Amino acid sequence: MQLRLLLDAALDFIYPRIYCVCCGERLEKRAVHGICDNCCEAMPFIHDPRCHVCGKPAPEESETCPECRYHNHEYDRALAVFEYSATIRELIHRFKYNKEYTLSRTFGYFMTELLMECGWTADMIIPVPLHKNRLKSRGFNQSALLGDYLSQRINIPCEEDILIRSIDTKTQTGFHRQDRLKNLKNAFTVICPEKVEGRNILLVDDVHTTGATVDSCSKELRRAGAGNIYVITAAAVLSDLATGRRRQ
């Protein structure tokens, strides 16, 4: 992690945030996650019933959402904290592109709470990797920052050098699921198979869209002999097929 990231984390610990990351109002003392009570109540948390595979909302009468009945996934289970609404999209954009590193602590807090509720047992955390060209231009991997935070909170090692992105693929924006999978073909490589063989993996990313990225990562981890593969993200994009409702 770069010196700048370490410095930001240290300052955030010594001088806790006192203003809400959403509205800018002064925080209550109990708001350890950086969001005031009013904004927290309005946040688009994903609630039960959830699909028992992808973790997105599922119809009341079914444990598996229509999307997961239509598409198989390479991972075992996935969960996301928030719906990818306008509010969350703005926060993630600030995190990734405006270099507001401390938002990793806000998202990480809620991701940790969700993990503690679900009871998954993992041996290591692996963040979805960026290609070295993207990492150089952006300066950091947002998924690695989330993984580092989770590692500190739940005391599971975060391994950033096991799974790499070996092909600098096109951006996934605007692609449908099949195009995303094609774009990601052979994009990821496990360089230390012996470290994942028989181990349960917690794969960390910022946004779960169609699942193509985490599926591609999971496929390579499976090839390397990984045990259970779980996915945790800050947000999930909800489709009409997944929710059974009309999106505006």
The conformation of residue 100, written as its DSSP 8-state character, comes to -
Q: Are residues 26 and 114 in the same domain?
A: no
Q: Region 84-105: what's the mean pLDDT?
A: 93
Q: Are the beta carbons of 125 and 151 closer than 8 angstroms?
A: yes
In a domain, 248, yes or no: no
3-state secondary structure of 67: helix
Segments in the chain forming alpha helices (H):
3-14, 37-42, 66-70, 86-97, 103-118, 132-138, 142-154, 177-183, 193-196, 212-223, 240-243
Q: Provide the residue range defining the domain that includes 50.
A: 44-243
Residue 136 has what pLDDT? 85
Q: Are residues 104 and 125 in the same domain?
A: yes
Residue 79 has what pLDDT? 97
Looking at the 3D structure of the chain, how many domains does it have? 2
Q: Are residues 138 and 200 in the same domain?
A: yes
Q: Are residues 121 and 14 in the same domain?
A: no
User: Is the confidence at residue 240, as pLDDT, over 90?
Assistant: no
- Reply yes or no: is the peptide bond before residue 49 cis, omega within 30 of 0: yes
Looking at 133-142, 170-179, 230-239, which range is the least confident one? 170-179
Q: Tokens standing for 2?
A: 């770069």
Looking at 65-69, 114-118, 197-201, which range is the least confident one? 65-69
Q: Are residues 225 and 118 in the same domain?
A: yes
